[in-house]
Amino acid sequence: MLHQACEGAALRGSRVISAEDILFLMRRDKRKLARVLKYLQFRDYKSKLLKNLEEEDVQQEPGGLAAGGNQRRQRLAQDFLVWMDQTGEFLSLAEKQEVDPVKQERMEVRGHHEIMSEKKYLDIYKHLNATTAKKASKFRDWLDCSSLELKPNSIATEILSYLAYETVAQIVDLSLLVKQEMTVKTNPVSHVISASYIHYNTHTEVKKDPDSPEATPPSTPGSSHSSKPLLLGNGSMDSRARQRKRKKSSPATVEPPSGAIQPCHIREAIRRYNYR
């Protein structure tokens, strides 16, 4: 999208990539275009509110904030849609008050968080907020526009940051579905395997460690003198060597199952999305 927007800006004779170039590329996806328009409107409201708080002159009149919130982002988008629109379908997107299906799905997911523990919810909330949307400098570094002849301006960067966040969220949702399907197909009887059997097989290799107490045979009366040197004090003589040996051998033999999304899940999700 960034390269296509750069080509469109060059054809227009512009010196920078502006919001018009990105909105023109999104003209066929009405749902995403409506979400971008609402996002720009929200950004205007937020900037207006922060400005009023800084000046300590918050307007108390009803509707005053909405009137002043129609600033450069929303006005710029509407002016471009008026120029591009011939049937009135684009202007109606900003005026419609329909239920956003994407927002509805995320609200349903958030409803499941109410039954979680506080620790688990904070961990999920931390991962949900892992984004570069609020850090424009980091997003520009990640975007890497050094190879482009034209660079995006501030409003275009905001739109690209929002689209990047939405794209990652959609990829994660699709990857979770793919992971769930692949797990069911590869192990169809996992729900009938007892937990004790899995626990025994997982820790079998650990018990084979010659230094572990389970692997050491009981001593006989005639073998009172062991071939291994006895540890004196706190056992600092061989403790470090044993710890190194266990650290090296354990990861190679024991691989705990991971619930994280793997690269194969992401590739399969992208393949299905492109095929559709």
Which pLDDT value is given to residue 93? Answer: 64
Which pLDDT value is given to residue 255? Answer: 45
Which pLDDT value is given to residue 54? Answer: 75
Which pLDDT value is given to residue 231? Answer: 45
Domain membership of residue 93 (yes or no) is: yes
Which pLDDT value is given to residue 247? Answer: 53
Tally of domains in the chain = 1
Domain membership of residue 62 (yes or no) is: yes
**Is the Cα torsion angle 22, 26, 30, 35 positive or negative in sign?**
negative
Which pLDDT value is given to residue 223? Answer: 47
Helix (H) or strand (E) holding 17: strand 16-17
Domain membership of residue 69 (yes or no) is: yes
**Exposure string over 38-74, b if 16+ CB within 10 A, otherwise e:** ebbbebbbeebeeeeeeeeeeeeeeeeeeeebebebb
**Which residue carries 């793919």 as its tokens?**
178
Which amino acid would we find at residue 26? M
Domain membership of residue 38 (yes or no) is: yes
pLDDT along the chain (276 residues), means of 10: 89 89 86 85 81 65 46 74 69 63 64 65 64 64 81 88 86 83 63 47 47 50 46 51 56 51 86 76
Which pLDDT value is given to residue 254? Answer: 43
| Host domain of residue 160 | 2-98+131-169
Domain membership of residue 40 (yes or no) is: yes
Domain membership of residue 48 (yes or no) is: yes
DSSP helix/strand/coil, 152: strand
Domain membership of residue 220 (yes or no) is: no
Which pLDDT value is given to residue 31? Answer: 83
251 contact partners, CB below 8 Å, separation of at least 6: none
Which pLDDT value is given to residue 130? Answer: 59
Q: Following DSSP, what letter does each residue of 98-147 receive, concatenated?
A: PPPHHHHHHHHHHHHGGGS-HHHHHHHHHHHT--STT-HHHHHHHH--TT
**Closest of 167, 153, 161, 165 to residue 20, by C-alpha:** 153
Which pLDDT value is given to residue 256? Answer: 40
Output the CA–CA distances (angstroms, integers) from residue 208 to 14, 182, 187, 195, 214, in the order listed: 70, 32, 27, 21, 8
Which pLDDT value is given to residue 45? Answer: 81
